[in-house]
Structure 1
Amino acid sequence: MILIYSHTTSPRLQYSCNFIFKELLGIDFTITIDSEEFRNYEGVKINYSNQQFQFSTFTITPHSLLFEIEIKAQQINCFENKGYKAFFKIADADFPFDIFAATFYLLSRYEEYLPHIKDMYGRYAHKNSLAFKEGFLQLPLINIGTRDFALELQKKYSIFNVQFNPELSRRTTFNFVPTYDIDIAFSYKHKGLLRNIGGFLKSPSLQRIKILLGLQKDSFDAYHWLNDLHQQNKLQPIYFFLVAEKNSHYDKNILPHKDAMWQLIKLHAKKYLLGIHPSWQSGDKPQLLKEEINWLSEVVNDEVPKSQHQKIYLSRQHYIRFNLPEGYQKLIEAGITDDYSMGYGSINGFRASVASSFFWYDLQLEQQTNLRIHPFCFMDANSFYEQQFSAGQAYEEMMQYYKICKEVNGTLITIWHNNFLGTAKEFDGWREVYEEFIRVVRREW
């Protein structure tokens, strides 16, 4: 166990230490304000204060952030540290920056509570972020910094020998979680006569006619192919279904009461973990979120004994549309315990600068919540529409994220949509690069 001395403790300090030591390193710690207890302790001890001791200890001079109770602009100056960016620099200490404060700043998404410019969808724009401005958006900076921090502790204390031992924590081994957003289940099928006539008049297509006549498979239907891919590579994916009761400009899925949608959800519920993909409309009308969760639960548990009913507790926002803290507070109120929205809908990268799941800290209430956040770093739509990558460039991008996540024993979460993995000519080559990526990861994992 590690003993940490501080002149006072706080929910912020407790939260940051809990993530670094328990979540990432898998070791226990205690914070004390008793200098005599700290002096007499014979194990690994960290002095997180301005007090100087005459005995050997690992010293980190604290930034004020973890002892504040307000939310205000912080003066941040980044510097190079072992090839990566760091901030909250300190001198005459055993580590070059306050890793506890820096971790809290990034993990809590502190900057998203400050005045900022929103993008065209009303979201926090990635260009506001420190990670984008300083060029470390593509790195899980917290994992990297924690690794170096652990190595420095080992140099100081020979008895501290974590080595990121998989036996110490379930989160210290690399993991890959493929996830899918089903927000346009089919390109032409099951959309109804009026929608198809309107679509045909707007953009005449022989392919549409062939699909509707049953002469050709729907171009967005990649479900059986994906199932085979998962079975062959022994993967446990997560599917997020959009089940808006009515269509809108941003909600264009097959309506949930249609038998085709009902059967599609039931088919996947038998094999995989399912989550809600809250509609755009639910962002404006919070009561819709609970209705959509209840409807999805009804389908998943149809014809299943009550004792075996599955609860819908996973979510990912449609268009990654959410703002803090309201967005996550609404999820908690609706009974969601795990959210997969932490990333940008405009660029790939690590929005929270981490490749591991974590509990959300509500800065407004100054407390850790029970909502676990699972950050993603790659989404097909970002590569294609926003970054305008080719399929080959997207493959290289995925490989970069795979390598860095594996290097820090993190979790790689990717987002794909069924339309990218079907047979639509617009996405020629994307199915093939995804299949190759899966094979490489599975072979090396």
Structure 2
Amino acid sequence: MQYIVRFFSKELGTPEWQLTDDAQAFLTEQGARINYSGEVLDMQSLHIVPHGLLSQTGIQQQPVNVTQLNGLPVFFQTGGVLGFDVFAAAFYLLSRYEEYLPFEQDRYGRFPATQSLAHKNGFLKTPLINRWTQLLYEQLVTRFPGVTFRQTAFQFVPTYDIDMAWSYRNKGFIRNTANLLKEAFSFQFSAFSKRFRVLTGKEKDPFDQFGWLNGMHEKYQLKPYYFFLVAEHTNRYDKNISPQHKDMKALIADHAIRYPIGLHPSWYSNTEPSALKKEKALLAAITGTAVNASRQHFLKLSFPQTYRNLLKAGILFDFSMGFADEHGFRASVASPFCWYDLEAETATDLLIFPFCFMEGTAVFYKKDSPEAGLAELQKLYHEVKIVNGFFSMIWHNSSFTDEGVFKGWKQVYETFITGRTAI
């Protein structure tokens, strides 16, 4: 109850709400009042009838019946002014309650979007909790017109995962020779020729899009976040350039001067907390600053262990809250929020920054054309803007090559950035 009250007081821009079980003290309070009980105490306070979830202990299957009220999807219908328990419903979504229950994992061991309540009931692409917050606001200002609420400000933060800084350069003699031989013997002459031209300095590496991005950021006054994969050993999923390579160190250091830098924990580190701490320390040594932000590689997020590991490693901000297989709002919110450890039944200081669009989702999962991807990106941006929320998206430097499956996607990014003020 304290956790969800703190969340809504922040969203509504008020001092933190005070909880009391003293009916007399409640009725004599001069400010805005919410009666969260089964009894009607007075006619002015906003009455929300509890569902019961917030007074439960343990984790159990919750009967959830989604219907439409006030033009929005709702569940935990209990009557009262809003018709449902907005606090319990918001807590259920924010805590990712359903991800603690049994589910069928995808091939990477993740919770798929298709199994989520939001996807099954058609509200995955709606920042539903922000919409519910607007309903709460409207009811409170009607009942208590003298109370001041501070409007939240819309925020836009582009983010990039640097899984592999260069396609050909700086991979070392053995890796490049092996790939050249593979391309030659499999008659991939175009790929062989391109690799050879890049390695001999006759052509720029296609993944080296950093200068172009810097120009975009400066021109449109953007403040992005970069997440670097610095795994010490390469494997099937961790294919980054060695963090010990001088060019890789120089690239990271240059970006650390310009932008906030975060860790992209390796696939290996997801189950090896000691590796996570090593990678964090390595990135901090390269940047010369503390590293306190992260985003999971492959968005491999398991509750509660992943976030517990991040906290133990000293991570304070995480940007992994979103799905790989679908666009939309994994926690049904377009606002940063603190993670609640449902299993331990405690609020934490880990601040979660959700994202709702990833170009890899459009290209590899949805098989969208660049035009369809742009339309989806603009639609999600509009959804967040109308609630004055936090809009974040994921791109990779490798997506701006304008080659192969990424043909046209560099233009999508540029068109979106240049035209977003009109959305």
Structure 1 length-normalised TM: 0.91
Match of 1:410 among 389, 394, 397: 389
Q: Secondary structure at the match of 1:179?
A: strand
Mapped partners of 2:12, 2:239: distance in 1: 40
TM-fit CA distance, 1:263: 1.1
Q: Which stretch has the larger CA shift, 423-432 or 176-185?
A: 423-432
Aligned counterpart, 2:338 = 359
Counterpart CA distance in 2 for 1:56 and 1:264 is 60
1:335-382 CA deviation, whole Å, 9 max, x = no partner?
000000011122111000000000000111111101000000011101
Mapped to 2, the partners of 1:184 and 1:354 lie a distance apart of: 30
Cα drift, residue 103 of structure 1: 0.6
Report the AA paired with residue 310 of structure 2.
L
Asked if 1:347 corresponds to 2:335, the answer is no
Query: Is 1:432 paired with 2:422?
Result: no
CA separation in 1, counterparts of 2:170 and 2:292? 28
Name the counterpart of 2:368: 389
Provide the residue aligned with 2:181 in structure 1.
Answer: 201
Contact 1:220 1:423 (C-alpha < 8 Å) held by counterparts: no
Q: Secondary structure at the match of 2:278?
A: helix
Instruction: State the match for 1:10 in structure 2.
Output: none
Cα distance in 2 between the residues matched to 1:406 and 1:54:
36
CA contact (8 A) 2:319 2:354 kept: yes
Secondary structure of 2:160's counterpart equals strand
Displacement of 1:267 after TM fit?
Answer: 1.2
Equivalences for residues 284-323 of structure 1 within 5 A? 284-301=271-288, 310-323=289-302
Q: Is the 8 A contact 2:263 2:293 kept in 1?
A: yes
Q: CA-to-partner distance for each residue in 1:214-273, whole Å, 9 max, x for gaps?
A: 111111110000000000111111100000001000000111111121111111111111
Structure 2 CA distance for aligned equivalents of residues 318 and 54 of structure 1: 52
Query: For residue 6 of structure 2, what is the aligned residue in structure 1?
Result: 18
Counterparts of 2:293 and 2:76 in 1: how far apart (Å)? 35
Cα displacement string for residues 45-65 of structure 1 (whole angstroms, at most 9, x for unaligned residues)? 111101222553211110000
Deviation digits for residues 10-43 of structure 1 (CA, Å, limit 9, x no counterpart):
xxx1111110122344343111100110121222
For 1:130, the equivalent position in structure 2 comes to 117
**2:262 corresponding residue in structure 1:** 275
Q: Following the alignment from structure 2 to structure 1, what is the Cα–Cα distance between the partners of residues 377 and 43?
A: 48
One of 257, 260, 274 as aligned partner of 2:247:
260
Take 1:288 and 1:28, find their aligned partners in 2: how far apart are those partners?
38
Deviates more, 1:52-61 or 1:99-108: 52-61
In 2: Cα distance, 1:149 partner to 1:430 partner: 40
- SS of residue matched to 1:240: strand
The normalised TM-score by structure 2 is: 0.95
After TM superposition, give the deviation of residue 209 of structure 1 in Å.
Answer: 1.3
Q: Secondary structure in 2 aligned to 1:207?
A: helix
Query: For residue 38 of structure 2, what is the aligned residue in structure 1?
Result: 50
CA contact (8 A) 1:46 1:57 kept: yes
1:225 matched to which residue of 2?
212
Q: Deviations over 1:193-223 (max 9, x none)?
A: 2222222333332111111111111111100
Distance 1:47 1:261, change over 3 A: same
Aligned to 2:55: 67
Letter in 2 for 1:177: V
Amino acid across the alignment from 1:68: Q
SS state of the match for residue 18, structure 2? strand
Q: Report deviation, 1:119.
A: 0.8
Alignment match, 2:398: 419
Asked whether 1:31 is paired with 2:19, we answer: yes
Identity score, percent: 42
Contact 1:39 1:55 in 2 (8 A): no
Report the counterpart of residue 71 of structure 2 in structure 1: 83
**Equivalent residue for 1:97?**
84
- Partners of 1:148 and 1:27 lie apart in 2 by 19
Look up the SS of the partner of 2:83 in the other structure.
Answer: coil
Which runs of 5 or more structure 1 residues have no equivalent in the other structure?
1-12, 167-171, 302-309
Distance in structure 2 (CA, Å) of the matches to 1:320 and 1:54: 48
Deviates more, 1:239-248 or 1:74-83: 74-83
Q: Distance in 2 between matches of 1:384 and 1:83?
A: 33
- Contact residue 220 and residue 424 of structure 1 kept, 8 A: no
Alpha-carbon distance in structure 1 between the residues aligned to 2:303 and 2:16:
30
CA distance in 1, matches of 2:64, 2:76: 7
**Local SS of the residue matching 1:32:** coil
Shift of 1:115: 1.1
Task: Report the count of equivalent residues.
Answer: 416
Q: Deviations over 1:160-190 (max 9, x none)?
A: 453xx34xxxxx1101000000001111111
1:181 maps onto 2:161 in alignment: yes
